[in-house]
A = this chain, B = another copy of it.
Amino acid sequence: MGIIAGGGALPARLAAAAKTAGRAVFVVKLDGHANDDDLDSYPNVTVRLGAAAKILDAMRSHECQDVVLAGKVVRPSFSAMRPDWRATKLLMKVGMKALGDDGLLRLVGEELEREGFRLVGAHEILTDLAVPEGVLGTIKPDEQALSDAKHGLAVARTLGAADVGQGCVVQQGLVLALEAIEGTDEMVRRSANYRREGVGGVLVKSSKPQQDKRLDLPAIGLTTIEEAHKSGLRGVALLAGGTMIIDRDAVIARANDLGLFVIGLAGPDKDVEHGV
């Protein structure tokens, strides 16, 4: 199994799970993104994001069949990416200018399949990653928090439809912060500056309506819970089936300790998504 690894803890978790299942693992560490030292215990190579040919060659020479893309990848500008001929050809197809924040990943996924690899979702390997519907911990959201969560989900979905961020912070109906490229934790920290009097807000994470679930679903982890608590939020609402929790047991335990709720919400467009 090949793992194309971005930042955060997810890639190493996947590698460990695959190894435990008796599979051979090869890791392509994306330069400037992959930052988990645990990845070095597997055969690996470090490649920059723009070096598409090198990524494909490395995975082929290590006889990867399944490929999973995992971890945080921030799309660089065209000039920072320094695409090789292979990546340039790929980018020419869609036009770099028109590319939304997720367009690049989708493109990579399609290209991998065209090259004969089988694209696998992280949630197919770590089955507890996907967020189920309902309250996940011991803390339950009250009526205001639930209303904030639902409003936030609608806002995040709208954002996602424009291929931008997938998160926001809502307090008493007010959207305190919207996530673009800065990442969830940064956005949560910022939201504390705009906090209003009264009961605290809710962090909401969604996926984009058009998102391929095998590609980099939005994920939260322990840090997210810690930051949410520090910023005075009362809980986290996640799109059920469209987001991931890394280390669910630890995350829920910590949320319980800190008095934060964690809830999986069905999407507003649940019926449309049925069967995806």
Contact = CB atoms under 8 A, between A and B. Distances in A.
A180 interface: yes
Nearest to A177: B180
Given A178-B164, A182-B193, A198 B144 contact: no
A175 interface: yes
Given A173-B97, A178-B178, A197 B75 contact: no
Nearest to A176: B181
Contact of A196 (B80, B154, B180): B80
Nearest to A156: B162
B77 A147 contact: no
Nearest to A146: B97
Copies of chain A in the complex: 2
A19 B99 CA distance: 51
Interface string A28-40: 0000000000000
Interface string A169-188: 00111111111111000000
A43 interface: no
B158 A162 contact: yes
A15 to B, nearest CB: 29
A20 interface: no
A134 interface: no
Interface string A59-82: 000000000000000011111100
B173 A181 contact: no
In the A-B complex, the 4 residue pairs with the closest CB atoms: A77-B196, A79-B198, A178-B178, A80-B197
6 contacts: A76-B196, A79-B196, A80-B198, A98-B147, A101-B174, A159-B162
Given A155-B162, A158-B158, A158-B162, 13 more contacts: A78-B172, A78-B198, A99-B173, A100-B173, A101-B174, A101-B175, A155-B164, A158-B161, A159-B162, A175-B180, A175-B181, A182-B193, A182-B194
